[in-house]
Structure 1
Amino acid sequence: MPLKDILVHLDATPRCATRLQLAVALARQHDAHLIGLHVVDTVLPVMALADGGGGGALLGDLIEQLRQEGLAAAAGVEAEFRETLRREAINGEWRLVEGSLPDTMALHARYADLAVLSQRDPDDAASGAGLAVEQVLFAGGRPVLMVPYAGTFETIGRRVLVGWNASRESARAVADALPILAAAERVTILAVTAAAVATPQGEEPGADIALHLARHGVPATVLHMTAAGLPDAEVLLNQASEQAADLIVVGAYGHSRLREWALGGVTRTLLQSMTVPVLLSH
């Protein structure tokens, strides 16, 4: 299935321009409809600022002040988005919604083929895009393209590295990324296995999924590596650097422990340490 609608989270942070640039590039490449979603979320700021000592009227005033500030900021973001659509000749639409950012993003992601968000900037507590990733990943039902909070990215999807371990999640990621893989110049399947552990990948890890992709007209090179004490996520990031990959495709893992959505180790490391955009599916 081709990418026909792409949802991009827009806000007033400096990284919004990079996120929009990548979303525009994908929309142009796939002739997709681009949806710019801006969420005026007063929930998290109020929770952080409220002292818990009552004062309903004061809290109401604070919420309204934050709301008006959010709507004012949204006007500038909307103007830039519409100008980008005009300049790039991209079909799209602007959506302004008031509500919880994670829940709103997950809801709107269900009606798009791909959701584009930013990695959370650890030095920017006000950046809300990264806060929504778990909700969108595990409740949105759609793949998520995460854009690193630092760096510039001239291309996306030309040189793709696929992290493969024959799991349900990695199979879902490959299927969701198929339109991007089909347009790529180079696709590499990376299968990382432990030397003494049996895997469901057969005698040649990665060969079966490469054959599946070949039937879809996607030639792929298989790279099988034996773990040498490094976590799988670090091996994946190292290979992305060595191969100058401009996109990583990987399954997202979650466990219901300690909190509603607890990320698996590989997913958590990628979200914290990514150096190139990462497409995740659950």
Structure 2
Amino acid sequence: MTYRALLVHLDDSEAALQRLEIALRIARQFGAHVVGLDIAPTPDAHIFSAIPGAAGLYAEVIRQREQRRGTLRELFDTRCRHAEISGRFLCLDASDRQSIVRHARLADLVIAGQANPNAPETYIHDHVGELLMLAAGRPVLFVPYTGVFPSVGSRILIAWDGGREATRAVFDALPFISHAQQNIVVTVHGAADAPLGSRIPGADIALTLARHDAVIEVLELEGATGEHVGSVLQSCAQARGCDLIVVGGYGHTRWHEAVWGGVTRTLLRTMALPVLMSN
């Protein structure tokens, strides 16, 4: 298994350049094609027509949109050419969710950004990664909106709870895991005095991954519940020098969503390093 088709979400934020550079590095590593996706809102002409003398304003809004799109396209094409990577720039209307999801389903991996509450100008792009993970069923590599990440996937923390979502995430991340210098399978237990029979074994999935030539270590952490698990995973990843966290996304049952959904929200809100999620 490898990544041959990548989709990277682009916007006007400074973080978009970081996402693009990461996408190009992954494309170079796996020999992948890259689609740069710009999701642009289209102004409603009917709203402008209701304002006297607003025809000129509408024309200016359209001109600025096209100028912005051209600048982003030129940036994408230049970076792909410089990196000698096959790429295609794609611009879709923000209201056309069906087309956005359809194109995402053609990708082996989607690279998207963490929502930035301090950048209201990019509100139209907030939570695009979560939309694509849930609606398109593709793994999403979320990149924090702050920080510099010279490597992604050389040392990986794998959050393992034995569930469906974690399983999807592990096997969706297999190209990274097989090539990583080190993988740490982390299971997080509740109270330290919980019955041993209720514990989640990490050794079994570690053995499976080792058969894919992955370098694996198993680590059990104690005494974390609910959303606190997300903080524990991040602290562990940073302490062990990891540059990627692999974790299952939102669950499909109320119980799973209540427990591990909190982990997902914590990681998406406070991530300090890239996180690969599947659901």
Please give the alpha-carbon distance, in whole angstroms, between the structure 2 residues aligned to 1:249 and 1:271: 12
| Inter-partner Cα distance in structure 2 for 1:120 and 1:180 | 24
Instruction: Identify unmatched segments of 5+ residues in structure 2.
Output: 255-259
Name the structure 2 match of 1:207: 203
Match for residue 236 of structure 2? 239
Cα distance in structure 1, aligned partners of 2:97 and 2:242: 29
3-state secondary structure, aligned to 1:179: helix
Equivalent in 71, 80, 99 of residue 75 of structure 2? 80
CA-to-aligned-CA distance 1:65-124 (integer Å, 9 cap, x gap): 544322210101111111111111111111122232765543321010011111011111
**Pairs within 5 Å for 1:261-280:** 264-280=261-277
User: Which residue of 2 is the match for residue 29 of structure 1?
Assistant: 29
Q: Which amino acid aligns with 2:135?
A: A
In structure 2, distance between residues paired with 1:183 and 1:227 = 32
1:13 maps to which residue?
Answer: 13
Runs of 4+ in 1 over 3 A off after TM superposition: 58-68, 101-105, 195-202, 254-257
Say which is worse superposed, 267-276 or 129-138, in terms of deviation.
Answer: 129-138
> Conserved in 2, the CA contact under 8 Å of 1:102 and 1:131?
no
Cα 1:277–1:101 change in 2 (3 A) is farther
Q: Mean Cα displacement is larger for which, 156-165 or 224-233? A: 224-233
Match of 2:102 in 1: 107
2:112: which partner in 1?
Answer: 117
Residue 50 of structure 2 is matched in structure 1 by 57
The one-letter code of the counterpart of 2:130 is: E
Structure 1 unaligned regions, length at least 5: 258-262
Quote the offset at 1:274 in angstroms.
0.1
Q: Is 2:159 the counterpart of 1:163?
A: yes
Q: Over aligned residues, Cα RMSD in angstroms?
A: 2.7
- When residues 151 and 102 of structure 1 are mapped into structure 2, their CA distance, relative to the original with a 3 A threshold, is farther
Amino acid at match of 2:240: Q
Rounded to whole Å, the distance in 1 between the matches of 2:275 and 2:182 is: 16
How high is the TM-score relative to the length of structure 2? 0.87
CA change 1:248–1:200 in 2 (3 A) is farther
Q: Does 1:98 align with 2:98?
A: no
Corresponding position: 1:184 with 2:180: yes
- Look up the SS of the partner of 2:127 in the other structure: helix
Compute the displacement of 1:233 (Å). Answer: 0.4
Partner of 1:218: 214
Shift of 1:212: 0.7
User: Matches of 1:199 and 1:11 in 2, distance apart?
Assistant: 48
| The one of 131, 153, 156 aligned to 2:127 | 131
CA contact (8 A) 2:188 2:224 kept: no
One-letter identity of the residue aligned with 2:33: H
> When the two structures are aligned, how many residues end up with a matched partner?
268
Q: For 1:141, which of 128, 132, 137 is the aligned residue?
A: 137
Alpha-carbon distance in structure 2 between the residues aligned to 1:168 and 1:200: 20
How far apart, in 1, do the equivalents of 2:234 and 2:167 lie?
20
Q: Shift of residue 129 of structure 1? A: 3.3
Once the two structures are aligned, what percentage of the paired residues are identical? 37
Relative to 1, partners in 2 of residues 1:86 and 1:157: Cα closer, same or farther, differing over 3 Å?
same
Q: What per-residue deviation string (whole Å, max 9, x for no partner) do you get for residues 185-231 of structure 1?
A: 111111001135568876x7210110110111112100011125681
CA deviation after TM superposition for structure 1 residue 130, in Å: 2.9
